[in-house]
Structure 1
Amino acid sequence: MLKGKNFLLKRVISCVLVCAMILGLIPQSVYAAPSEGTDTQKTYSSDGFTITYKEASAWDNYVNAEITLANDTDSAKSLWEIQFSYDGEIDSIWNADIKNHDDGTYVLEAKTYNSTIAAGQSVTLGFMAHGSSAKPAMPESITFADASASEDKKDEDTEGGDSEGTDTP
């Protein structure tokens, strides 16, 4: 009787292992797609620029984000800095530097090689960030931080004159 139970047990275990092996041979593809209604991009405006925040990828409580500063004006903007409130911690950044991070507000500044955004041109920076328990939310706003950042104006020629306002030959 004991022999029959062992035989039956071995047969059940064999069937379970064969099923597991067959299921292991079936290719399984897993694709992560954004949930319906989940936005991965947000657009802002500041000083004549279109600023776009885009989640290039996201997983767990991490995000790879890109911010594009598109100059829609007729003038170049130099030594730009942007600021935004962010509930995540930036772990690494490219094409910009973190100038300041205080109470959830980041100030990012240009690198030397992209410090001037010519009229009609754009600059894209990116970073990887994490949230404490969930993916960081998109910023409510992104604006230029430093009002004194130079905005190159087109030269306006004026007719010659001295400081008194009289013409000189």
Structure 2
Amino acid sequence: MKMMQWGAAALALGLVHFAVPAEAAGGKTLETVKARGVLNCTGHDGSYLGFAEVDDKGNWKGMDIDLCRAVATAVFGDPAKLKIVPISWAQRWPSLQSGDIDIVIKASGGTLSRDTELGLQFSMSYYLGTTKVMAHKELNLKSLKDAQGGTICIPAGTTIEQQVAAYSPEDRNQA
């Protein structure tokens, strides 16, 4: 079982890339992490089921948390050398830039503006998701256009927020 966990960590490191400060390419972030003796990685300030959540015993779990452990294992050889820092979506970039966290593993999209304006370094995605809108079946909606005047709940500070705000059924040509 232990070998399987280590194998999964190694596989994750081979397939996964993250958002880190641009200076990380020069090694400053890695030097800081090694000197501190612990990796500060993103958690969530609520519950993000399947990605970053706290179980009934107070332990962090989820895909993002497992990836944080994999990075800690790669750096220190020990997945326990990890501090999970619970932050909101809006806090992830300022926390990374300030050095409060060392790496963002938080289902976040890399964009050109985040690379250039925020000075972050993104790499390949580890999870690809789509933006979906759900409604109660009894509303009998066939498209988002049918939901005029409705409310959509989404996480603030995310690219999903931008995508939904940019989509306006009134402005689209309906064929």
TM-score with structure 1 length normalisation?
Answer: 0.23
Say which structure is richer in strand: 1
Say which structure is richer in helix: 2
TM-score with structure 2 length normalisation?
Answer: 0.22
